[in-house]
């Protein structure tokens, strides 16, 4: 699932077509909001430069019986991204602080797909208890 999602995620960043990526995330996830931003950017004549992601699993798949969700620790790898708006405004970002690059993806299974239901740091998970 993660490999398929990542292909659709990076495709969305490159083209503004998020239709495939939406299938792999729930409406409540941070990723869903990101895809709405990307669609809007491209629909209004903007685009992205660079910004592609890769992820590496850092632990086993864990089931949380109380929340009825799975989670798996992942590390995100990215360097830079530039969002170019149609009016020429640039939003340039660089991954200079890697302290937030390791987190848990939360997963559910629905409508025939494993879906990303959100992401949380170890600290955020501990504070929920």
Supply the range of the domain harboring residue 118.
Answer: 2-128
DSSP readout, 57-103? E-S--EEETTTTEEEEEEEEE--EEEEE-TTS-EEEEE---GGGSEE
| Confidence (pLDDT) at 129 | 66
- Domains identified in the chain, total number: 1
Could you tell me the pTM of the whole model?
Answer: 0.89
Q: What 3-state DSSP class applies to 47?
A: strand
What is the predicted pLDDT for the residue at 67? 84
Taking CA 59 as the corner, what is the angle to CA 69 and CA 12, rounded to the nearest 5 degrees?
A: 70
Q: What backbone torsions phi and psi does residue 78 show, to the nearest 5 degrees?
A: -160, 160
Query: CATH number, domain at 57?
Result: 3.10.450
Residue numbers of the chain with a pLDDT score lower than 50: none
């Amino acid at each position: 699932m993660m490999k398929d999602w990542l292909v659709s995620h990076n495709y969305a960043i490159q083209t503004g077509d998020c239709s495939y990526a939406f299938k792999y995330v729930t409406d409540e996830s941070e990723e869903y909001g990101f895809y709405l931003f990307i669609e809007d950017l491209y629909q209004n004549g903007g685009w992205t430069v660079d910004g592609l992601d890769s992820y590496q699993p850092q632990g086993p798949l864990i089931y949380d019986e109380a929340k009825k969700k799975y989670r798996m620790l992942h590390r995100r790898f990215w360097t830079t991204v530039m969002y170019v708006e149609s009016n020429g405004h640039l939003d340039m970002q660089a991954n200079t602080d890697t302290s937030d690059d390791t987190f848990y993806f939360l997963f559910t299974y629905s409508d025939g797909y494993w879906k990303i239901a959100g992401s949380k740091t170890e600290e955020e998970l501990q504070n929920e208890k």
